[in-house]
Structure 1
Amino acid sequence: MTEQAPCFHSLAFREIPTPDYADVCLAVLPEGASTDPAEWAERLFSLKSMPRWVAGALGLRQALVPLIGVPKAPKDTFKVSEQSGEEALIFVRDKHLDFAAAVGVDSVGRLIRVTTAVVLKGWRGKLYFSVVRPVHPIVVNSILKKATHSKPAPS
């Protein structure tokens, strides 16, 4: 039996080929919207364009994580680290986890996709992600919904 190559490719899985957690969230790309994945990644992960409750949750995260020895996220945590083809990658290596989010734009199928892959490191990563795991797809889908149903936030 020959080994079959994966049929789903993503920069997220190139960075984290064997994740402890992974998900893919999709939304319909609005008519006339940009098909630049880096532009979408910056828009999706900008605090200015996130739903208020998501921005509030991230603020709460910043206040609470030092209590378990996890550093606060720097302001540029969600900056695009690479773009290749139809995807832009945000990759963060930290002491408690590695996080990859690839934002892909399918201009033919008119879809935008956020692929997330996470590797947990030690008890801090497991504890931190035990809180994040149940809400992660809800957060990403909320961000996608707001971004695809509103005009771009001013830069």
Structure 2
Amino acid sequence: MTEPSHEISHVVPSPATSLALRDIPVPDYCDVVIVPTRGVDEPDPRVWAEAIFSHENTPLSQRGLRALRDEAVRLFDMVPPPAKEYVTDEVRGSEALIVDDDENLRVRIGVALLPGGQLLQVTTAVKFLSVRGRLAFAPRRLLHATAVNTLARRAPATIRRQAVATGATPRRSLPGQVARRVIGRGGSGAH
């Protein structure tokens, strides 16, 4: 009679997959934020990426700080930097990729709908190209994941607002529609 084997099987997880990590496989800084889509049934990752980084998705406090900075710069007869606009550079499957490089940093941001469409994943990979890039990113490093989390959590509401503004019907799951009708918001005939 043979003894049963008590060996522990080690399962090695597959490496994380993201277009952001395809271009920068070993980043100097990396974070992954996963948030719920809050019932918004939008299958296009480009729409999600552009909603996350749109001007209207930015919290009012950040917009106010930017306006104060711009006014302070104008006082010294300097031209404020233009507002940075992020555009999707590539879409593959259920992921959109944003490339934001300069002479000091390589930045890749992948925005992906996870299988089932209920979760959204934002992967950021940064490679420092110089000491100046490392220094420039240092303060952002402290709050980057928190800021991306805030923007990603606000994206479903931004997509709904944009759909209403363009006259398209915002796509919601049934539980979202029912909940809004119960509290007197949204739905057909409720104003």
Percent identity over paired residues: 33
Match of 2:98 in 1: 90
Could you tell me which runs of 5 or more consecutive residues in structure 2 were left unpaired when the two chains were aligned.
1-11, 74-80, 167-191
Contact 2:19 2:110 in 1 (8 A): yes
1:28 aligns with 2:50: no
**Cα deviation per residue 1:95-114 (whole Å; 9 max; x = unaligned)?**
11010000001241610010
- CA deviation digits over 1:27-57, x for unaligned, max 9? 1112243121000001001112221234456
Aligned partner of 2:54 in structure 1 is 46
Larger strand share, 1 or 2: 1
Partner SS, residue 27 of structure 1: strand
Q: Does 1:145 align with 2:153?
A: yes
- Using the alignment, how far apart are the partners of 2:60 and 2:130 within structure 1? 31
Higher Rg of the two aligned structures: 2
Kindly provide the amino acid, as one letter, of the partner of residue 125 in structure 2.
A
- Per-residue CA deviation, residues 111-150 of structure 1 (Å, 9 max, x unaligned), is 0010000001212111111100010011001101212345
TM-score, with length taken from structure 1: 0.79
Tell which has more relative contact order, 1 or 2 (C-alpha 8 A, sep 6+).
Answer: 1
Aligned to 1:104: 112
CA contact (8 A) 2:40 2:156 kept: no
Cα separation, 2, equivalents of 1:105 and 1:128: 30
Q: TM-score, normalised by structure 2?
A: 0.65
